[in-house]
Chain A
Amino acid sequence: MSWFTKTFTSTIGRKVLVAVTGLFLCSFLVVHLVGNLQLFQESGDAFNIYSHFMATNPIIRTMEIVLVLGFGFHIYEALVLTRRNQSVRKVAYAYNRPQDNSNWSSRNMGLLGTVILVFLIVHLYNFFWRARFGEPNMIPIEGTEYDDLYSVVVQSFHLWWYVLIYVLGQIALGYHLYHGFQSAFQTLGLNHKKYTPAIQKFGALFSIVVPAGFAAMPLYFFIKDVVL
């Protein structure tokens, strides 16, 4: 094995890969959230133009491949480490009180990640798949025909169970980020008494604001169009 392979198949090397891809995925969440704020524009034109740009711009299309790789490595490396970690304690403690020395989200990153993955598959199937390979209705905006993805989104969010999947997915994401964000810095060796408290506070804020922002979208359309 070359030194490079040895580095990234060691426990610390794999952890570093999970951390780096995790932080990259955090940056994706910000871009995705900010872009999707277009949904709150009443007419839907802004969202349709934005969707068209995201689906056709060569830079975005290239980043899409990087994003898939980011998800792939994050999930694969985390799975390898989780399987290794589970094999260490073959006989479980008959009586264990981990709640006395650690918080719940930090101990359940694998479970939270799995919930997020299930959500992601549902989410991609419904929006990404249909936007890229389906045939949504066309809508004219200033003389040009656009896919009417806005209506696809709005109609999906009229289904209560679909809204529920989204809200649950975002709760899992929130807990995942609450541990994951600050944990990534620790894994990369970035721990310093000047900055670590700020990183932990920012991570806590990030883990609330980002999932809340995403959850606001299905809730907004469900409450506006169905409840009221």
Chain B
Amino acid sequence: MAGNNPNSKPMNLTLKVWRQKNTQAAGRLETYQVKDISPEMSFLEMLDVLNEDLLRSGQDPIAFDHDCREGICGMCSLYINGRAHGPERGTTTCQLHMRKFSDGDTITIEPWRAAPFPILKDLTVDRSALDRIQQAGGYISVNTGGVPDANEIPIPKTIADKAFDAATCIQCGACVAACKNGSAMLFTSAKVSQLAMLPQGQVERKTRVENMVAQMDKEGFGACTNIGSCAAECPVGISLENIAMLNREFISAKFTSENV
């Protein structure tokens, strides 16, 4: 069966990979050849094959982030052929398969590039700036008790759905990587609006948005200019509506909160 599928033919590829020893070192693109890559492999498995080759020949393997390899954790990054998570929309790198490429292709692989995401080694970057934004206010401190009965807390279905959509953000940082301005507003907006829409999030609603935006600015992320590349590259489809909501929440909080 597989033999009849023209897509199942093994591929030979040229890879241009960003190599950088550590945060301080200067990096550069190195060229590698990989042979007999199955189209059924995921992009990360293809990199595993290359790393095995490098190890066998006594070279330093390429460092890249990965964990669950099923599109849930947000660890895998990689700027592939000029796009965050590669050419396919709505996927993480681990969900990108080699059948999207052709035999003989040259693939350029770079790390997320933004000053608040310092490169640790090769393709891995430190994304803890996003953790610090989350820590600045992305939580609720009310006691929510045990699991409530269904429909005990009145939330309209449309609002619950929107809050859930915002909550699907996996904090991968593709929005920052794809943004011309290196802005983290899609990420921050998803976290802010998720909680602002739900009753449990009301207690800290104003302080939350003020603190999270302050932290976002402090980390050195850029300012959104509504280009929309973030939402286009987001693997879980976080909508630009969230950024509008963040702006709304921020300005109204600034003018009405108790924080002078």
A contact residues vs B (CB 8 Å cutoff): 2-3, 6-7, 10-16, 81, 84-85, 87-98, 100-102, 106-107, 109, 179, 182-183, 186-191
Contact with A along B138-170 (1 / 0, CB 8 A): 000000000000000000000000000000000
Residues in B neighbouring A187, C-beta threshold 8 A? 224, 226, 247
| Bound Cα distance from A136 to B249, whole angstroms | 53
Residue of A nearest to B243 (CB): A186
Given contacts A101-B228, A107-B180, contact A93 B82 (CB under 8 A): yes
Given contacts A88-B222, A101-B178, A191-B240, contact A7 B83 (CB under 8 A): no
Beta-carbon contact of A89 and B250 below 8 Å: no
Beta-carbon contact of A106 and B228 below 8 Å: yes
| Bound Cα distance from A15 to B224, whole angstroms | 8
| Bound Cα distance from A6 to B220, whole angstroms | 16
24 example contacts (A-B, Cβ-Cβ < 8 A) are as follows A3-B259, A10-B213, A12-B213, A15-B224, A81-B225, A85-B182, A85-B225, A88-B115, A89-B114, A93-B110, A94-B18, A96-B82, A97-B82, A98-B180, A101-B178, A102-B228, A107-B180, A107-B227, A182-B226, A183-B225, A188-B248, A189-B248, A189-B251, A191-B245
B contact residues vs A (CB 8 Å cutoff): 16, 18, 27, 29, 79, 81-83, 87, 108, 110, 113-116, 178, 180-183, 185, 213-214, 216-217, 220-229, 232-233, 240-241, 243-251, 254-255, 259-260
| Bound Cα distance from A14 to B255, whole angstroms | 15
Residues in A neighbouring B255, C-beta threshold 8 A? 7
A126 to chain B, nearest CB (A): 32
Given contacts A11-B216, A12-B251, contact A88 B244 (CB under 8 A): no
Given contacts A16-B247, A101-B233, A189-B247, contact A109 B79 (CB under 8 A): no
Beta-carbon contact of A189 and B244 below 8 Å: yes
Residue of B nearest to A90 (CB): B115
Closest A-B pairs by Cβ, 7 of them = A189-B248, A88-B182, A97-B82, A191-B244, A85-B181, A101-B232, A11-B223
Residues in A neighbouring B216, C-beta threshold 8 A? 11
Beta-carbon contact of B83 and A12 below 8 Å: no
- B81 CB contact (under 8 Å) in A87, A95, A188: A95
Beta-carbon contact of A88 and B246 below 8 Å: no
A15 to chain B, nearest CB (A): 6
| Bound Cα distance from A87 to B87, whole angstroms | 26
Beta-carbon contact of B251 and A88 below 8 Å: no
- B115 CB contact (under 8 Å) in A15, A89, A96, A98: A89
Beta-carbon contact of B113 and A91 below 8 Å: yes
Please count the residue pairs between chain A and chain B whose beta carbons lie under 8 angstroms apart in the complex.
142
| Bound Cα distance from A10 to B251, whole angstroms | 11
Beta-carbon contact of A106 and B226 below 8 Å: yes
Beta-carbon contact of B223 and A85 below 8 Å: yes
B228 to chain A, nearest CB (A): 5
Beta-carbon contact of B183 and A95 below 8 Å: no
| Bound Cα distance from A81 to B183, whole angstroms | 11
| Bound Cα distance from A94 to B226, whole angstroms | 24
| Further pairs besides A102-B232, A188-B251: 19, Cβ < 8 Å | A10-B217, A11-B216, A11-B223, A13-B250, A85-B222, A85-B223, A88-B116, A88-B181, A88-B183, A89-B113, A94-B16, A97-B82, A98-B178, A98-B180, A101-B232, A102-B180, A109-B225, A189-B246, A191-B244
Residue of B nearest to A16 (CB): B251
Beta-carbon contact of A94 and B244 below 8 Å: no
| Bound Cα distance from A84 to B18, whole angstroms | 25
Residues in B neighbouring A7, C-beta threshold 8 A? 251, 254-255
B3 to chain A, nearest CB (A): 34
A93 to chain B, nearest CB (A): 6
| Bound Cα distance from A109 to B214, whole angstroms | 25
Beta-carbon contact of B244 and A190 below 8 Å: yes
| Bound Cα distance from A90 to B188, whole angstroms | 22
Beta-carbon contact of A97 and B83 below 8 Å: yes
Residues in A neighbouring B82, C-beta threshold 8 A? 93, 95-98, 100
- A100 CB contact (under 8 Å) in B83, B214, B250, B251: B83
Residues in B neighbouring A101, C-beta threshold 8 A? 83, 178, 228-229, 232-233
The winner among B27, B81, B180, B213 for most chain A CB atoms within 10 A is: B180
Beta-carbon contact of B213 and A11 below 8 Å: yes
Given contacts A3-B260, A10-B217, A188-B247, contact A179 B87 (CB under 8 A): no
